[in-house]
Structures are given as structure tokens and as C-alpha cells.
Amino acid sequence: MLFDYDVLRLIWWALLGVLLVAFAVTDGFDMGVAALLPAVARNDGQRRQVINTVGPVWEGNQVWFILGGGAIFAAWPALYAVSFSGFYLAMFLILVALIIRPVAFKFRSKRDEPAWRGRWDAALCFSGVVPALIFGVAVGNVLQGVPFHFDSDLRPFYTGSFFGLLNPFALLCGLVSLAMLVLHGATWLQIKADGEPAERARRYGMIAAAVVIVLFAIGGFWVSAMDGYQVVGGLDPVGPSNPLRKEMTTEAGAWLANYGAQPLLWLVPLVGFAGAALAMLGLYARIGALSFLGSKLSVAAIITTVGVSMFPVILPSSSEPGHSLMVWDASSSHYTLGIMLIATVILLPIVLLYTAWVYKVLWGKVRESDVNKDMY
């Protein structure tokens, strides 16, 4: 293989982060627009206008979610097994929302009745709010640790409950996620819409930016006092994938250890704050490109902050800390990671080029006067 096992594990940890950020940056503004739909559009023409800002691109954006899930399944099978079983009901709600969205897009225009279209508009709003909130709740629980363990045959057992996921810190993270994607959707509408919907989105976006800054700061202080996870022995970066061979401990403020070891990492959360502030400035000045750039930076940096804070932990176990999943002991084999990397190097640039071409072709504002009955 071209790379050593530990290097491949690190590369795939980074690639997983890239896929999650790509999903949040692209499909995130779709969710934000859907969440804002009842607030920014007051009549059927405006609602069709708002929906058609994302109608041509949402399906392609959702591909990043599938790629992320596939990468977890193939590169981090233990993570896939624990997270998708432990968060089963939460994942089910997300899938329900994501399934409702295309149905709402397709069926909304089938009748002219206000009640019919109103129900599908509510479904679209649901499909934006629920995933944004639950993704954040999931991240909050991961930072606190998830109650799971393995038996001697490496079979995972989740010992928590669905309602146990709805704890105060996790709900705070859910609100950060929701506000972050509402801001992202508002900046998208600044670029793609005009008239009253764009103006209302501008006002709601500035509020969302302020909420992101405040709640992200509160979350940071909360994490600084929270028990984090540290390895105290037995971890081999090039050893076989077996999470039972190490020893771990918990310590208050341990999630900040990486920042102490590498002070440049503080730039990551700072970009999260700066991006939200830049988005607010762009919205205030009605500069769509500036606001959208700021929201993208904020989304990417906030997600990256979680990753660099936890590294090399991927999924900590609150019930058995020594069973926590790490970058160095939860991956697929050396050969599997190498073959997957070759396929990714070939295919990912094609996906990126095609996506860029689609956005170039579909660029331009969607105006209410342009919306007709043949559109969504």
C-alpha cells in the first residue's frame, strides 16, 4: 500500500469530516430554506418562489448524506454499528423527514387548493427543522459520551434510551445546529430570491446569526467544564481494529487538550464565530455573496471544531470508557481503506466538477413573476 495503516486511518478520519461538512454546507441551506418557508413567504406565489430556489438542487445536495453514510459503513464499521443502532429512533425521524421532503416537492403542485398546498408546506418545514435539530442533538450526545459496550466477540450493546438523548447539553447543540442552518438558508435566499421573501429572510438571518454566536459560545464554555476522554495506555495506531485493547479515563476539560497542544487549532472555532458575524454583516449590507460565504465558513468551522476537539476519539462510551471508538482502533482493514482511497481519489473530483457545473447552469435569481403553475 502507498500509505501506512495509521496514515490511512488519519486520511479517512479527515475524509469523513469533509463529507459531513459538504453535506451540511450543501443540503444545509435546503433545510434552512424549508425551515424558513412559513416565515418568509406569505402567499402561494412567494412560497413557490422560495421552494424553487432549492427545487433544482436539493436532490444532488442530499447525495453527500448518502456518501457520508456509505463512508461510515465501509471505513468505520464499528462506528456504523453503534451509532445507527444506538440512535435508531433519532435516525428514523431523520429518514422520515428526508422522505417527506421529495414527496412534498412533487405533490404540492398537484392541486390548487390552499389547504392541500398548506399541508405540504408544513411538511416541507418539518423536513427542514427536524433533521437540523436532531443532527445537533446527536453531536451533543457524542461529546458527552454514549452508553455502549462490546462483549468479548466485539458485538456492540447500546444501553441508553431515546429520551435520554434529549438532555440539556444535547438540546443546546440541537439549537446551535438549527440556528446555523436557518442562517445558511437565509443567506441562500439573499442570493437566489428577491422581493419580500428575501427581505424577510434577511431579518430572520441576522437573528439566527446572533443566536449562533451566543449559543456556540455557551456550548464552548459548557464543553470546557465537561468530562472529556483521554487515552492512558494500550493504544497502537497501526494495530488491529479492536477497541478493547486500550485504557481510557475521563477528565474535566479534556476536550480542550488538543488546543493546548496545538494553539493554532483555536483558529477553527474562531472562524465559526467570524463566519456567523460575516454572514450577519453581509445580510445587513444586503451583499448576498458575502453573507453566503460567511454562513458556509461558520457551518464548516463549527462542525470541524467538534472533530478537532475530540481527536483521536470518534465515539466515546460513557458506560465503558475503555470501549470508546478511536481513529486508531475502529477502522476497516489496511487493504480496505487503501482500495477505498483509490476509488475516492478518482470519483470525488468528478462529483465536485459535476456539482459545480450544475450550480453554474442553474445560477440566477428566482423571481415571483417567473414562477408558473408548472413549477413546484
Nearest-angstrom CA–CA distance, 45 and 268: 41
C-alpha cell, 213: 454566536
Give me the mean pLDDT over the 2-20 stretch: 93
pLDDT tens digits along 133-151: 999 999 999 999 999 999 9
One-character DSSP codes across 103-123: HHHHHGGG---HHHHHHHHHH
Give me the mean pLDDT over the 100-120 stretch: 90
- Tell me how far the alpha carbon of residue 104 is from its chain's centroid: 22
Asked which of 27-36, 163-172, 231-240, 243-252 is least confident by mean pLDDT, the reply is 231-240
Task: Count, in order, helices (H) and strands (E) of the chain.
Answer: 13, 6
C-alpha cell, 56: 433544482
One-character DSSP codes across 57-107: THHHHTHHHHHHHHHHHHH-HHHHHHHHHHTHHHHHHHHHHHHHHHHHHHH
Domain map (residue ranges) of the chain? 5-370
Most confident of 90-99, 197-206, 342-351: 197-206
- Confidence (pLDDT) at 216: 97
Nearest-angstrom CA–CA distance, 118 and 125: 11
Global model pTM greater than 0.85: yes
Angle at 367 between CA 366 and CA 371, to 5 degrees: 90
Residue 318 has pLDDT above 80, yes or no: yes
pLDDT tens digits along 240-252: 899 998 999 999 9
Phi-psi region of 233 (alpha: psi -120 to 50; beta: other; left: phi over 0): left
Nearest-angstrom CA–CA distance, 34 and 127: 7
Give me the mean pLDDT over the 18-32 stretch: 93
One-character DSSP codes across 248-297: EEEEETGGGHHHHH-GGGGHHHHHHHHHHHHHHHHHHTT-HHHHHHHHHH
pLDDT tens digits along 340-371: 999 999 988 998 898 889 888 888 888 877 77
Give me the mean pLDDT over the 80-105 stretch: 89
- Please report how the helices 195-225 and 267-284 are oriented relative to each other, as an axis angle in degrees rounded to 10: 160
Tell me the residue length of the chain. 376
